[in-house]
A and B are shown apart, each in its own frame.
Chain A
Amino acid sequence: MAFYLTYLLIGAILFGFIAGFTLFAVYSERKIAGFVQDRLGPMETGRYGSLQTLADILKLIQKEYITPAAADKVLFAAAPVIIFIAIFLGFAVMPWAPGLAPSGLYLGLFFVIAIISVDAIGLLMAGWGSNNKFSLLGSMRAVAQIVSYEIPSGLALIAAVMVAQTLDLREIVVNQGIQTAEHLLLAGIWDVTDIGGLFAWNVFQAPHLLLAYVIFFIASLAECNRAPFDIPEAESELVGGFHTEYGGLRFAFIFLAEYAMMFLVAMIGVVVFLGGWNTPLPNIGAVRLADWTTGLVWGIFWTLSKTLLIVGVQMWIRWTLPRLRADQLMSLCWKVLTPLAFLCMAISGIWRVWVMV
């Protein structure tokens, strides 16, 4: 029975982490936006506006549930839950530190890709349930975008999987550091099995994965519906997109799902391409930096810091680049990213067979 209690506890801890991350991320997003646009950002609530998001959450929780009269009541109420749960389930297989993952699934990466695609159903549900033209158009744009961009992101991940030879996320991470049982070569030439650190990461083991990572990163921005791919919620055209009609706690859940998705895709990228919980510091002769900075606490620290760095880049891009038009978005996906991802996949096959022997 203690078994099932542990499961519940892990779920609760992950949920608490996501909620805490969202609070922190919304605040930092506002501050980054302020910095990029040369203003201060929130300054009124608390010192340097640090209580601003807490105040926002309190406001959202107090709000009344408003369901539009013509809405499909069941679908309208169920949509935010499905959107959030789809993302939340993705966290089930993400490894945090050596030997620390909520679930050790052999098909971990495949599971994450599949479960994220359920998100699209939730978005359609929200758009249809609201019975509002803006919502419906927004959700259809969002889903068309998510379904299209799943292809380059999936192919980029497959390119990495072909090099790693496993779908198990724990094993993918282990094979990028000093704890591996395999032979690691930097760019296929220099043996770095004992040196580890930065050089053993997948992007440096096989340099074409750097391109695959960039493809994955761009596609993951589109899957999160974030700028420059945020036409589903383009304020100037669609009011708020699929969540126009939502308010109160339901809106809070959609918001939570959006930030959880940002963290999840950043973490997938870190785990598959950037070494996961492995340290970036290499062993230099007698100075065993990589040995000293590998462990449970260090693992969590490296995972968190790398992922938060990527989330920071996502925010920076959001406030820097202008929004893409719908047709530009699709042609970028199908005419640039997909062929490049296929190229990466082909190089991965050649790399594995001829270089990494």
Chain B
Amino acid sequence: MQALVFYAFSAIAIGSAVVLVSMQNMARALFLFFIVLFSVAGLYVFALADFVAITQILIYVGGVLVLMLFAFMLSNKTLLDQLQRGTSHFFALPVWQALLISACFLAILVYASLQLGTFQPAWMVAAEAAGTTIGPADSTVNHIGIHLMTRYLLPFEVVSILLMMALVGAAHLTRKEANP
């Protein structure tokens, strides 16, 4: 039953992603993106990363996607038409870039799955031997909190400074000019 649900989520994610990239209607494509994000959140739950799954829904679905929809609805119609027409012939520059990036990702994925397929990584074996693995019924948020405040404190602070800079920048951009 669990495998069935897993494959259903994967099929929905991959299927709607394929439809998404081949779709001409931009508004519907954005709403399909919502389905992709949601089913990927479902896949995170199967990886025992429930915190990541809920964060995905909260930030991507509730925040980023809403912002994208707003940007889409507020943007110029003629500009959008030009974007949607795009380049049609095969050897155009955007096609090349996209091909390169997706080929790189495919190579990384194939490499990782080959590595995992033959033998378990050393850290996984060590964790199983030490009994420090996390089961489906364990609370993950405590571990995340402790690790963020100790082991990963520097990256955490760097990210928060980055976000702060973005916030200050946004506030500056929306400020009314004194003398236009």
Interface residues of A, Cβ cutoff 8 Å to B: 4, 72, 74-75, 78, 105-107, 110-111, 113-115, 117-118, 120-121, 124-125, 128, 136, 140, 143, 147, 150, 167-168
Contacts and interface: CB of A to CB of B under 8 A. Distances in A.
B58 A114 contact: yes
Given A114-B54, A143-B66, A147-B66, A106 B139 contact: yes
Interface of B: 1, 25, 27-28, 31, 34, 38, 50-51, 54-55, 57-58, 61-63, 65-66, 69-70, 73, 139-141
A106 B50 contact: yes
14 contacts: A72-B27, A72-B28, A74-B28, A75-B28, A75-B31, A110-B141, A114-B54, A114-B58, A117-B62, A120-B66, A128-B73, A140-B70, A143-B66, A167-B141
A120 B65 CA distance: 10
B54 A75 contact: no
B57 A118 contact: yes
A107 B54 contact: yes
Contact of B141 (A78, A107, A113, A124): A107
B102 to A, nearest CB: 27
Contact of B31 (A117, A121, A136): A121
A114 B25 CA distance: 28
A115 B56 CA distance: 11
B57 A124 contact: no
Contacts of B61: 114, 117-118, 121
Given A75-B28, A75-B31, A106-B50, A124 B139 contact: no
A113 B62 CA distance: 10
Nearest to A147: B66
Given A140-B70, A167-B141, A128 B62 contact: no
Contacts of A75: 27-28, 31
* Chain B binding surface SS class: helix
Contacts of A143: 66, 70
A114 B52 CA distance: 12
Contacts, number: 67
The 7 nearest A-B residue pairs measured at CB: A117-B62, A114-B58, A106-B139, A114-B57, A114-B54, A124-B69, A110-B54
Nearest to B140: A106
B84 to A, nearest CB: 15
A245 B82 CA distance: 30
B76 to A, nearest CB: 16
Contact of B51 (A78, A107, A140, A147): A107
B39 to A, nearest CB: 13
B171 to A, nearest CB: 11
Nearest to A106: B139
A147 B104 CA distance: 36
A147 B63 contact: yes
A140 B61 CA distance: 16
A25 B19 CA distance: 42
Nearest to B74: A140
Interface-central residue, A107, A136, A150, by most chain B CB under 10 Å:
A107
A121 B66 contact: yes
Nearest to B137: A106
Contact of B66 (A72, A124, A167): A124
Contacts of A147: 62-63, 66
Contacts of B140: 106
A121 B65 contact: yes
Contacts of A117: 57-58, 61-63
B57 to A, nearest CB: 4
A150 B73 contact: no
A272 B123 CA distance: 40
A94 to B, nearest CB: 16
A113 B58 contact: yes
A121 B54 CA distance: 16
